[in-house]
Amino acid sequence: MLLSKKMGVYLNQAHFLFKQCFLSELVNNNVDLTPEQYLLIDLLWDEGPLTQQQIADQMQKDKNSITKLIDGLEKKGYVIRETNTEDRRKNLVVVTKMGEGKKQEITRIAINAADNILGGIPLVELNTVVEVLNKLNRNMKNLLKKNQE
């Protein structure tokens, strides 16, 4: 198999399996979140209130997908939408007190899941993977930008 084809296949498999393993850890720990919902709330825990567009930009997802994620988190009580005082046409997505109260527990579960997934791989190899993925992302962003011109 060509190296470029192997890369595509393995990246796709790793992405799928990572999400499945992470979801399994969430379910086993009675956390009612999907991996995507976790990424969104984790972003809000780190950044504070954001608009839907800011979330979409940072998560690199379309606004419709983000709307569904926010709706799900809102139904579960993790977030609320508040009117942006600077621009009333935009809502800010804000973590609720309940969502803040679960931050440490859910973050611990997420870190444990990642540690289990990455277990047994030497740190130097993990650092190399991160470097290569950063280079791949840079290349792909440049290609997208070039193709849009």
Report the CATH number that the domain containing residue 20 is assigned in CATH.
Answer: 1.10.10.10
The predicted structure's pLDDT at residue 69: 96
Domain that holds residue 145: 121-149
The predicted structure's pLDDT at residue 90: 81
The predicted structure's pLDDT at residue 29: 95
Domain co-membership, 128 together with 105: no
Residue 149 to residue 2: CA distance in whole angstroms: 30
Region 103-115: mean pLDDT is: 95
Summarize pLDDT for 33-71 with one digit per residue, the tens.
Answer: 999 999 999 999 999 999 999 999 999 999 899 999 999
pTM of the model: 0.85
Residue 65 to residue 105: CA distance in whole angstroms: 26
Domain co-membership, 107 together with 145: no
User: Residue 63: how many CA atoms within 13 Å on its side-chain side?
Assistant: 6
Domain total of the chain = 2
Domain co-membership, 84 together with 145: no
Give every strand in the sheet of 50-51, ordered side by side: 50-51, 91-95, 79-83
Domain co-membership, 88 together with 103: yes
